[in-house]
């Protein structure tokens, strides 16, 4: 049984939109594309490398897939990120994508929860969801995500696509690991443990 891991970078107010550059995702007139760049450091590289080293496949939404497919096939390198994205299986959820040209890509066109459950039943390394804000709610609502690796950055953006959108069902998570980078980002690893419990003091 494979784990489904959500890897993402968010601002302190939970915005995950366009951390990598101004052209990455300007949807909605988002003015802060590339907000993660000032916080790049060696520790970030180590964390991302470790994540990709244990990854055996990728699950992506259409927008994230298009961003990656426009960049990574043109990169050369033997590092886990470049090699992983170009060689490992990629599953993209889309009803409009035609025949993909990026190596080792499979399109999931219907019944996403059932398709993801089948992927998780296979042998192999973790399945990594990177970005893919529009896909996450479906996976979350069906309790398909086994682990969240969330890089929280010391910046407030005030607008943009958020990791957990309004209206998602409540869940309790357990913190299993926490790492801080020299530039002030905190990478927390969480696993779901069930429904929200309430009480009174």
> Can you point out the beta strands (E) in 3-158?
4-11, 55-61, 90-93, 105-108, 126-130, 147-153
Of the chain, the percentage scoring pLDDT greater than 70 comes to 100
Which CATH superfamily is 4-187 part of?
Answer: Dihydrofolate Reductase, subunit A (3.40.430.10)
Q: Given this model, what pLDDT does residue 95 score? A: 92
Write down the domain spans for the chain.
4-187
Residue 76: pLDDT band with limits 50, 70, 90: confident
- In tens, the pLDDT along 121-140 reads 999 999 999 888 889 999 99
**What was the pLDDT predicted at 77?**
85
CA distance 153 to 47: 14
Q: Which has more confidence, 1 or 9?
A: 9
Q: What is the pLDDT of residue 165?
A: 85
**Percent of all residues in the chain with a pLDDT value above 90, rounded to a whole number:** 89
Could you write out the three-class secondary structure of 107-157?
EECCCHHHHHHHHHCCCCCEEEEECCCCCHHHHHHCCCCCEEEEEEECCCC
Residue-wise pLDDT tens digits, 180-191:
999 999 999 999
The one-character DSSP state at 162 is: B
Q: Extract the tokens encoding 175.
A: 């913190």
147, 3 in Cβ contact below 8 A? yes
Instruction: State residue 123's pLDDT score.
Output: 92
What are the φ/ψ torsions at residue 194 (nearest 5 degrees)? 135, -165
- Burial class from Cβ neighbours inside 10 Å (0-12, 13-18, 19+) for residue 107 reads middle
In whole numbers, what is the pLDDT of the chain averaged over residues? 94
Does residue 166 register a pLDDT over 90?
no
The H-or-E segment that residue 65 falls in is helix 62-69
Instruction: Judge whether residue 88 has pLDDT over 90.
Output: yes
User: Which pLDDT score is estimated for 155?
Assistant: 98
CA atoms of 67 and 158, how far apart (whole Å) = 24
pLDDT for residue 132: 87
- What is the model's pTM? 0.92
What average pLDDT does this structure show over 74-102? Answer: 92
CB atoms within 10 A of CB 173: 16
Token readout for 89 is 């299986």
Query: What's the pLDDT at 12?
Result: 97
Q: What pLDDT sits at residue 133?
A: 86
How do 147-153 and 4-11 pair as beta strands? parallel
Residue 159 CB-density burial (10 A; 0-12 exposed, 13-18 middle, 19+ buried): middle
**Distance between alpha carbon 122 and the CA centroid of its chain, in Å?**
20
């Amino acid at each position: 049984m494979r784990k489904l891991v959500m890897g993402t970078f968010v601002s302190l107010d939970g915005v995950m939109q366009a951390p990598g550059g101004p052209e990455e995702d300007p949807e909605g007139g988002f003015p802060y594309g590339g907000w993660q760049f000032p916080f790049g450091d060696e520790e970030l590289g180590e964390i991302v490398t470790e994540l990709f080293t244990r990854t055996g496949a990728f699950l992506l939404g259409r927008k994230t897939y298009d961003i990656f497919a426009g960049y990574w096939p043109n990169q050369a390198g033997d590092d886990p990120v470049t090699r992983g994205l170009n060689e490992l299986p990629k599953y993209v959820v889309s009803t409009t994508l035609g025949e993909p040209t990026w190596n080792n890509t499979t399109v999931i066109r219907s019944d996403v929860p059932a398709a993801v459950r089948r992927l998780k039943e296979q042998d192999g390394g973790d399945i990594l969801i990177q970005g893919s804000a529009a896909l996450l709610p479906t996976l979350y609502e069906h309790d398909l995500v086994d682990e969240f690796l969330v890089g929280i950055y010391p910046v407030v953006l005030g607008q943009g696509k958020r990791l957990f959108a309004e209206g998602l069902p409540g869940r309790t998570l357990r913190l299993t690991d926490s790492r801080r980078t020299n530039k002030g980002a905190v990478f927390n690893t969480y696993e779901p443990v069930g429904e929200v419990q309430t009480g009174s003091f």
